[in-house]
């Protein structure tokens, strides 16, 4: 599906940058072709500044999304979520970052969850990068408590795991 979306912008690399940012941040496009997060409007000039493109590129991209029924169904409904990865250590939670050998391979999340459960750790959050959006995708597991060293060893033994980092 993502390839179909990008195909609509392949002749417009600046607009592709905009659509990637809107999607990655979980922003929506409203009926007025404005980029929003819920009811908060994100100034197109701010998006343009971050991407180093002209504000009119953001305007044009948002309008293209609004006019395309398939795109608008996606971008009026996408939502962002709270990610605990950066604050987990402050909250006393554990963070496991797993770099897969092949992020498109199935079963890794289930194998990791099973391994974590064997150590009586509750998973508070599991976030996996989409390999279509992220060049080096990771699986981030936030646990109820600190991660024991022998769990790290167990995770390294799982099929498909390239690297394990704990914070």
Residue 149 pLDDT: 92
Token readout for 22 is 């809107």
* Distance in angstroms (rounded) separating the CA atoms of residues 47 and 43: 7
**Low pLDDT (below 50) residues in the chain:** none
pLDDT tens digits along 78-105: 999 999 999 999 999 999 999 999 988 8
Residue 132 pLDDT: 77
Token readout for 106 is 């199935």
Q: How far is CA 10 from CA 5, 14, 50, 85, in A?
A: 9, 9, 21, 33
Q: Which domains does the chain have, with CATH numbers?
A: 2-75 (no CATH), 94-166 (3.30.70.260)
3-state secondary structure (DSSP) of residue 78: coil
Q: How far is CA 12 from CA 18, 19, 54, 61, 134, in A?
A: 10, 11, 13, 10, 20
Q: How many CA atoms lie within 13 A of 141 on its CB side?
A: 27
Residue 127 pLDDT: 96
How many contiguous H segments (helices) and E segments (strands) does the chain have? 7, 7
Do 100 and 110 contact (CB within 8 A), yes or no? Answer: no
Residue 3 pLDDT: 81
3-state secondary structure (DSSP) of residue 37: strand
Query: Which residues touch 126 (CB under 8 Å, ≥6 apart)?
Result: 109, 112, 113, 139, 140, 141, 142
> What phi and psi values does residue 60 have, to the nearest 5 degrees?
-65, -40
Token readout for 83 is 């990610």
């Amino acid at each position: 599906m993502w390839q179909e979306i990008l195909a609509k912008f392949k002749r417009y690399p600046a607009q592709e940058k905009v659509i990637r940012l809107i999607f990655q941040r979980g922003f929506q496009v409203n009926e007025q072709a404005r980029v929003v997060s819920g009811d908060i409007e994100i100034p197109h000039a701010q998006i343009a500044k971050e991407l180093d493109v002209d504000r009119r590129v953001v305007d044009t991209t948002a309008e293209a999304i609004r006019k395309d029924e398939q795109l608008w169904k996606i971008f009026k409904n996408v939502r962002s979520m709270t990610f605990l990865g950066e604050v987990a250590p402050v909250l006393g939670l554990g963070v496991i970052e797993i770099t897969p050998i092949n992020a498109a391979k199935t079963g890794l999340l289930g194998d990791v969850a099973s391994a974590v459960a064997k150590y009586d750790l509750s998973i508070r959050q599991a976030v996996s990068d989409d390999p279509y959006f992220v060049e080096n995708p990771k699986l981030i597991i936030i646990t109820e408590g600190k991660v024991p060293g022998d769990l790290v060893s167990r995770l390294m033994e799982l099929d498909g795991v390239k690297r394990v980092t704990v914070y």
